[in-house]
Chain A
Amino acid sequence: MKNYKNKIKRRSFIKVAGLGMATTALTGFPNILKAANKPIKVGVTTILSGRVAILGQTVLSGMKVAVDEINNAGGIDGRKIEVISRDSKAKPDEAARLTRELVNNEGCEVLLNCEASGATFAVNEVARDIKKFCIHCISETSSLTADPKNRVPWVFRAARQGIHDAVGGGIFASEIAKKNNLKKFATAAPDYAYGRANTAEFMEYLKLFSPGINVTTQTWPKIFQPDYTENITALLNAKPDALYTCLWGGDLVAFIDQASLYGLFDQFQSFAVNLGDLPILTAIKKIPKDVYGGARYHKDIPDTQANEDWYNKYMAGSDVLPTNWSWEADTGMRFLIDALKKTGGDTDPMKLAKVTAGNKIKSPFGVDGTMTIRGEDHTLVNYVIAYGKTITKDPYLANIQQSNWKDIYVHEKDWKKRKKYI
């Protein structure tokens, strides 16, 4: 009897198991497969309309290089990366709302924020609030990661930082100033937080490395201003030895085109930190000779095969030349992919944060072929910071000099102490 019961049990078990397997095969297994192959959705907000829409386009094309590489290699444990983008129009509240929408409606598990500074701070708070892993790819405002009150344990930055450029640019410009005895400086910067902070930081370090320099004139055109006549006239009247400008994008193109009509660049030495972006250099009607420009992105800086390859891959999928925003978006995506590989596709913000803090990856844009997201302040270091002099033909920038990161680290630490960030 006992054996009989056991037999029934065994038969029942086989039947149940068979039925279970059939059910799993018919319903559950495809679901398991589906879950395994479900793409990892990455939410991206950026500027895709208005005067700087071109930058948003180059963001998407830049990260596409990294996404295509990982997806063509089979994804992360079989899961592909899917980018879902939204146009914030550079409005902070819209960027905040869209970030929530990307997570809540589109099911994005991680965020790559590709906004300019204003909207980046808004997205930073949303990422803090909804506890989603996020990498800021564009904002250069130093306080974003340097100021502890803005820091979020699961949020990082894979972009340039103003203070790094200020130290690098300050050292570079001070050498030119000493050599050419440039004492009186004028500035022309966009009238908003980035323009004012960038100009102040640059001049602070220029004066530090080359004492005796004075700022005699400062002009603050409005962002997206169409006519720069009053600013150009003010600069010409001031007759400085040199000009520093951090105008960017279409504003820089318009300023240079209009200033060239007045022969401004023939009258004094000029430094333009945001000049060295290919779409900018190619959009200017007649590039003035011998203007010192920061190399934002250039296919020859660094002059390596890896950078050349990246440029070719980028151009294969884009109608627009790469910008500074392109390599930053690509870098953000590569750090994200590397972190996802290390967590096996797990998008838990703390797990991703743990493997991202202090992470070093290979990169065509790194000084020695590598870049690091520093653990202590969650920001990118060891990227190429370089200045060159304009020439009128392709590649438009020559005599490139790279900044030394040892100097940058020393002065950055002092700056943080002065700001009471550490």
Chain B
Amino acid sequence: MSTFTLFKKDISIALFSVLFLILIGFFVEHPWPKDFLISIFSFGLLAMSLNMLIGFAGMVSFGHAAFFALGGYAFGLLLQSESFLTNFGALSIIVAFFVSIFITGIYSAVIGAICVRLNEIYFAFLTLAFQMFLYSVIVSWVSLTGGDQGLMGGIARPVFLGIDLSNSLHRYIFCSVIFVICILLLRILNKSNFGYSLRLIRDNQERAEFLGIRVFRVKLICFVIASMVASVGGIIMTLFTSGAYPEWAFWTQSGEAIFMIMLGGISIFLGPLVGTVLLRLINDVVQMYSSHTELVTGIIIMIVVLGLRKGLVEYLLEKTGILKK
């Protein structure tokens, strides 16, 4: 059976979602929803890809934002390079997009080869250590990265195939399409044999080995794919802010992604995405009235974690009987 037939429903939902998002772009004149959704696309991909590690494979990574930052920095640096722009001309954005994902893939394969051999707390702390290593490189290598001031001077966005990414509508539609493709990819992986292998490894690694699954290889592939998806989130944020900043590679960014997963729910595919929307909304709304955003966010997360003992989506689905306890 072809992939299309197997995932017909998911592909249809994805097509409908793209159409819906594009319609929002065309018919909602106010720029706020587009800006808000672009930030959701970006951080949503970070949280969803992290949940591929945590929810699918049981690998709790504390350093996932490193790949988000690496994607953003690689993309930004390539588009700031005069020689790169001269060589690739109108195709610069597309080439930079794929090269940045590729660079992140290579980097994560090296890091992953070291980290995925370990389990639980050792894996978590080693990923955190590698994230802080990247952060230190970004902050110290001032001549390349701009240090703690981030990439300065803006990022060139040459027009390609009639798409002008300096135009807010074009940028929004471009990001929408990329976002939905990435989510669809994660969904297909989740529902495929690969996804089942990951869940088996998560639940009983020894049994998976006895059944002939090459645990190390499967976990490494999962780690690399999740990192590459996170890098797409970074690329979207770089396009949006026209810069890249070391804070993206700081451990708190990974912590925020974990909060998003906790808020939405670890066991529901779109739970982290709902968590992303909730966290961004809480942050944005509270910030309009007070500077105590962390306090409010902390209280809400405490209520969800201690009160509900599960993500909000999981709780609601259980309450409505859709999800069995």
Q: Could you say which residues of chain A place their CB within 8 Å of the CB of B139?
A: 192
Least CB distance, A16 to chain B, in whole angstroms: 33
Query: In the complex the two chains form, is A104's CB within 8 Å of B32's CB?
Result: yes
Chain B contacts with A in 285-324, Cβ cutoff 8 A:
287, 291-292
Q: How many residues of B contact A (CB 8 A)?
A: 27
Known: A100-B35, A105-B32, A193-B148. A125 touches B245 (CB 8 A): no
Q: Could you say which residues of chain B place their CB within 8 Å of the CB of A97?
A: 35, 39, 241
Query: In the complex the two chains form, is A96's CB within 8 Å of B247's CB?
Result: no
Q: Could you say which residues of chain B place their CB within 8 Å of the CB of A121?
A: 146, 149-150, 152, 243
Within 8 Å of chain B (Cβ to Cβ): is A167?
no
Within 8 Å of chain A (Cβ to Cβ): is B23?
no
Query: In the complex the two chains form, is A150's CB within 8 Å of B241's CB?
Result: no
Binary contact track A77-94/B, C-beta < 8 Å → 1, others 0: 000000000110101110
Query: In the complex the two chains form, is A122's CB within 8 Å of B150's CB?
Result: yes
Can you offer 29 A-B residue contacts whose CB atoms are under 8 A? A48-B291, A53-B291, A92-B245, A92-B247, A93-B241, A96-B243, A97-B35, A98-B287, A100-B31, A100-B35, A101-B284, A104-B32, A104-B35, A118-B148, A121-B146, A122-B150, A122-B245, A125-B152, A125-B153, A125-B154, A125-B241, A125-B242, A126-B242, A128-B154, A129-B166, A129-B242, A150-B152, A192-B147, A193-B148
Query: In the complex the two chains form, is A101's CB within 8 Å of B149's CB?
Result: no
Within 8 Å of chain B (Cβ to Cβ): is A24?
no
Within 8 Å of chain A (Cβ to Cβ): is B248?
yes
Q: Could you say which residues of chain A place their CB within 8 Å of the CB of B247?
A: 91-93
Binary contact track B238-279/A, C-beta < 8 Å → 1, others 0: 000111010110000000000000000000000000000000
Within 8 Å of chain A (Cβ to Cβ): is B229?
no
In the bound complex, CA of A147 to CA of B153 (Å): 9
Q: Could you say which residues of chain A place their CB within 8 Å of the CB of B30?
A: 104
Within 8 Å of chain A (Cβ to Cβ): is B78?
no
In the bound complex, CA of A394 to CA of B35 (Å): 50
Q: Identify the B interface with A (CB < 8 A).
A: 30-32, 35, 39, 139, 142, 146-150, 152-154, 166, 237, 241-243, 245, 247-248, 284, 287, 291-292
Which residue from chain B places its CB closest to the CB of A53 in the assembled complex? B291
Query: In the complex the two chains form, is A96's CB within 8 Å of B241's CB?
Result: yes
- What's the A-B contact tally at a CB cutoff of 8 Å? 82
Which of B31, B35, B147, B287 is close to A87, meaning CB atoms less than 8 Å apart? B287
Known: A49-B291, A104-B30, A192-B139. A122 touches B153 (CB 8 A): no
Known: A121-B146, A122-B243, A149-B153. A93 touches B248 (CB 8 A): yes
In the bound complex, CA of A207 to CA of B245 (Å): 34
Binary contact track A96-123/B, C-beta < 8 Å → 1, others 0: 1110110111000000000001100110
Within 8 Å of chain B (Cβ to Cβ): is A404?
no
Binary contact track A117-147/B, C-beta < 8 Å → 1, others 0: 1100110111011000000000001010001
Query: In the complex the two chains form, is B284's CB within 8 Å of A125's CB?
Result: no
Q: Which of A53, A92, A192 has the most CB of B within 10 A?
A: A92
Q: Could you say which residues of chain A place their CB within 8 Å of the CB of B154?
A: 125, 128-129
Chain A contacts with B in 5-59, Cβ cutoff 8 A:
48-49, 53
Query: In the complex the two chains form, is B287's CB within 8 Å of A125's CB?
Result: no
In the bound complex, CA of A87 to CA of B287 (Å): 7
Known: A104-B31, A128-B154, A150-B152. A193 touches B147 (CB 8 A): yes
Q: Could you say which residues of chain B place their CB within 8 Å of the CB of A101?
A: 32, 35, 284
Query: In the complex the two chains form, is A92's CB within 8 Å of B243's CB?
Result: yes
Query: In the complex the two chains form, is A192's CB within 8 Å of B148's CB?
Result: yes
Given contacts A91-B247, A96-B243, 16 further A-B contacts (CB under 8 A): A49-B292, A92-B247, A93-B247, A98-B287, A101-B35, A101-B284, A104-B31, A105-B32, A118-B245, A122-B241, A129-B154, A129-B166, A129-B242, A143-B152, A147-B153, A192-B148
Q: Could you say which residues of chain B place their CB within 8 Å of the CB of A147?
A: 152-153
Known: A121-B243, A122-B245. A87 touches B148 (CB 8 A): no
Q: Could you say which residues of chain B place their CB within 8 Å of the CB of A129?
A: 154, 166, 242
In the bound complex, CA of A141 to CA of B142 (Å): 14
Least CB distance, A166 to chain B, in whole angstroms: 18
Query: In the complex the two chains form, is A141's CB within 8 Å of B242's CB?
Result: no
Q: Could you say which residues of chain A place their CB within 8 Å of the CB of B32?
A: 101, 104-105
Chain A contacts with B in 149-166, Cβ cutoff 8 A:
149-150
Q: Could you say which residues of chain A place their CB within 8 Å of the CB of B287?
A: 86-87, 98
In the bound complex, CA of A118 to CA of B166 (Å): 23
Q: Could you say which residues of chain B place their CB within 8 Å of the CB of A48?
A: 291
In the bound complex, CA of A86 to CA of B288 (Å): 7
Which residue from chain A places its CB closest to the CB of B30 in the assembled complex? A104
In the bound complex, CA of A103 to CA of B32 (Å): 9
Least CB distance, A125 to chain B, in whole angstroms: 4
Q: Could you say which residues of chain B place their CB within 8 Å of the CB of A105?
A: 32
Q: Could you say which residues of chain A place their CB within 8 Å of the CB of B166?
A: 129
Return the 7 tightest CB-CB contacts between A and B, nearest first. Answer: A87-B291, A149-B153, A125-B242, A92-B245, A104-B31, A49-B291, A193-B147
Which of A89, A126, A141 is close to B149, meaning CB atoms less than 8 Å apart? A141
